[in-house]
């Protein structure tokens, strides 16, 4: 029988959780309740109590509560629930997980669900799902639905529908979904993309498909690059064409909407020892939301509105030098074949000569720092082309293919 887990705070969401458990059991699923509510007294319903969850987090529950540090309490309970879920998953006692919560419950449950691998069924019903949910979801494939009605006082005509639909969604994932798998003989290539480098990415994907690679594109939006790095660590990715390492700039500068969810961009492939070819797509600017989301201190810089909800802002020359050094430092640690391919005629649609974000001196600052710190074991080449030119793309793809052939 499929084995489900419901994560929630029984002290505040007991009736909703019991309603979901009955629904699952009526569909032939085993439902286990994990209580992450630390503040209320123990209740008789959970299969895994809040005391056990706190123990998984490395604390006795009463000792944890005595700290009176609410943020720390939520972190410990979330991490305890994460270890609990991983234990169930690794022992084949978990097929899907669903959570229900307000702000605090969502925080704890999302910490727990982010510990599970990409492709594993996970779903969240939350009162805060209509706002910024990146801090909760991170780079994981957590299905999220807004609860519409507050989850207080037991199921009502509105929440009853939302909860039932959420259970149905999880049941559908478990019964009809698929996990991330690599078929025998498949070789996977990760490619990074933004709208500013889409022509290059499309050509690269076409060429790699023609060479019989499975190609997975990742939007360099902070979550995309972080997800790619996690999948590299899990062995899902066999080679990387990092045409658009844009997120490195946001990580180094510490500003923008596309800061990586996980720090350490450009580290995973090197640590894994898989082939990688890196270029400089989109690395000269920062991404923000609407104009008003740009910090006042940065509004005098060159800005180009990609659309009404997305502003591209030029990185400074000092920042570009820092990014160049960081790229070199991280690539120097690579255990596998690595090449850097630099297009000299621009790194994005907007950054080309004559474009609204072009700054020749900033490019020079980046390249000077990169060249002066890059180790001799890293292949380095400058190409008289734009990032989206066929010449640059073909050279990058051919270099990666050569690396991949050497690995066979």
pLDDT recorded at residue 239: 98
Residues 99 and 126 in one domain: yes
- What sign for the dihedral angle of Cα 196, 269, 371, 404? negative
Both 103 and 135 in a single domain?
yes
Cα separation, 264 vs 251, in Å, equals 8
Residue 274: which of 219, 231, 337 has the closest Cα?
337
pLDDT the model gives residue 43: 66
The answer to whether the beta carbons of residues 55 and 84 sit under 8 Å apart is no
Residues 224 and 145 in one domain: no
Same domain, 237 and 216: yes
Judge if 226 and 364 occupy the same domain: yes
| Sign of the Cα pseudo-torsion (46, 48, 52, 53, in order) | negative
What DSSP assignment string belongs to 99-156? EEESHHHHHHHHHHHHTSPTTS-EEEEETTTTS--HHHHTTS--EEEE-SS-S-SS--
Strand-by-strand arrangement of the 379-383 sheet: 214-219, 188-193, 239-242, 276-278, 338-343, 379-383
In 3D space, the residue among 369, 403, 372 whose CA is nearest the CA of residue 278 turns out to be: 403
Q: Is residue 36 part of a domain?
A: yes
Q: What is the pLDDT along the chain (408 residues), one digit of tens a residue?
A: 789 999 999 989 999 999 999 999 999 999 999 999 987 666 667 899 999 999 999 999 999 999 888 899 999 999 999 999 999 999 999 999 999 999 999 999 999 999 999 999 999 999 999 888 999 999 999 999 999 999 888 999 999 999 999 999 999 999 999 999 999 999 999 999 999 999 999 999 999 999 999 999 999 999 999 999 999 999 999 999 999 999 999 999 999 999 999 999 999 999 999 999 999 999 999 999 999 999 999 999 999 999 999 999 999 999 999 999 999 999 999 999 999 999 999 999 999 999 999 999 999 999 999 999 999 999 999 999 999 999 999 999 999 999 999 977
**Is 181 contained in some domain?**
no
- pLDDT for 255 equals 94
**How far, in Å, CA of 305 to CA of 309, rounded?**
8
- Structure token digits, residue 272: 């894994």
Distance of CA 358 to the CA centre of its chain: 29
Q: Tell me: do 361 and 381 sit in the same domain.
A: yes
Q: Provide the pLDDT for residue 67.
A: 87
* 137 and 203 assigned to the same domain: no
Which of 156, 176, 196 lies at the terminal end of a domain, its last residue? Answer: 176
What pLDDT does 393 receive? 98
Q: How many domains does the chain have?
A: 2
Which residue, of 176, 211, 233, is where some domain finishes? 176
Could you say which of 176, 210, 229 is where a domain stops? 176
On whether both 156 and 199 belong to a single domain, the answer is no
Q: Which two tokens stand for residue 96?
A: 């899907």
Tell me, yes or no, whether 182 lies in a domain. Answer: no
d(CA 21, CA 89): 19
CATH (domain of 344): 3.40.50.12030
Pair (347, 296) in one structural domain:
yes
pTM of the model: 0.91
User: Is position 183 within any domain?
Assistant: no
Phi/psi of residue 180, nearest 5 degrees:
-70, 120
- For 60, the 3-state DSSP assignment is coil
Q: Which residues contact 177 (CB under 8 A, 6 or more apart)?
A: 121
CA distances from 100 to 150, 162, 172 (A): 11, 11, 18
* Same structural domain, 147 and 251: no
At 24, which helix (H) or strand (E)?
helix 10-26
Tell me the residue range of the domain where 51 lies. Answer: 3-176
Tell me the C-alpha distance between 255 and 244, whole Å.
Answer: 17
Q: What integer pLDDT is reported at residue 41 of this predicted model? A: 64
Across 186-319, the runs of DSSP E, i.e. the strands, are 188-193, 214-219, 239-242, 276-278, 285-288, 303-307, 310-314
Domain shared by 197 and 297, yes or no: yes
In a domain, 101, yes or no: yes
* 260 within a domain of the structure (yes/no): yes
340 within some domain? yes
Q: Which residues face 240 on adjacent strands?
A: 190, 276
SS3 call for 310 = strand
Give the domain CATH number at 102.
3.40.50.12020
Same domain as 209, residue 170: no
């Amino acid at each position: 029988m499929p084995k489900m887990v419901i994560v929630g705070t029984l002290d505040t969401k007991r009736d909703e959780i019991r309603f979901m458990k009955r629904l699952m059991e009526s569909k032939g699923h085993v439902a286990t309740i994990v209580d992450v509510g630390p503040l209320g007294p123990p209740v008789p319903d959970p299969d895994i109590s809040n005391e056990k969850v706190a123990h998984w987090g490395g604390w006795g529950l009463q000792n944890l509560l005595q700290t009176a540090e609410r943020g720390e309490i939520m972190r410990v309970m979330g991490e305890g629930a994460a270890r609990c879920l991983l234990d169930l998953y690794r022992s084949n006692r978990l097929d899907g997980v669903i959570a229900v919560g307000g702000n605090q419950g969502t925080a704890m449950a999302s910490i727990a669900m982010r510990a599970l691998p990409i492709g594993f069924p996970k779903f969240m019903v939350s009162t805060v799902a209509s706002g910024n949910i990146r801090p909760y979801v991170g780079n994981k494939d957590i299905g999220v639905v807004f609860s519409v009605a507050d989850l207080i006082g037991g199921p009502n005509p509105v929440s009853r529908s939302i909860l039932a639909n959420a259970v149905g969604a999880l049941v559908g994932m478990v019964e009809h979904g698929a996990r991330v798998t690599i078929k025998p003989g498949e070789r996977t290539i990760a490619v990074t993309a933004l709208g500013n480098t889409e022509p290059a990415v499309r050509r690269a994907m076409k060429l790699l498909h023609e060479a019989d690679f499975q190609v997975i594109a990742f939007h360099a939006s902070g979550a995309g690059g972080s997800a790619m790095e996690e999948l590299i660590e899990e062995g899902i990715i066999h080679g990387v064409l990092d045409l658009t390492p844009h997120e490195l700039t946001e990580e180094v500068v510490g500003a923008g909407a596309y800061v990586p969810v996980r720090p350490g961009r450009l580290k995973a492939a090197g640590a894994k020892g898989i082939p990688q070819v890196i270029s400089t797509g989109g690395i000269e600017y920062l991404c923000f939301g609407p104009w008003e989301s740009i910090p006042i201190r940065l509004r005098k810089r060159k800005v180009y509105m990609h659309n009404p909800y997305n502003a591209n802002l030029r990185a400074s020359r000092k920042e570009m030098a820092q990014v160049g050094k960081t790229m070199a430092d991280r690539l120097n640690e690579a255990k596998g074949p690595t090449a850097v391919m630099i297009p000299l005629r621009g790194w994005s649609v907007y950054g080309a000569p004559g474009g609204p974000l072009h700054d020749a001196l900033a490019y020079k600052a980046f390249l000077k720092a990169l060249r002066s710190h890059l180790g001799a074991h890293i292949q380095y080449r400058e190409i008289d082309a734009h990032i989206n030119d066929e010449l640059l793309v073909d050279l990058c793809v051919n270099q990666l293919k050569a690396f991949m052939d050497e690995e066979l």
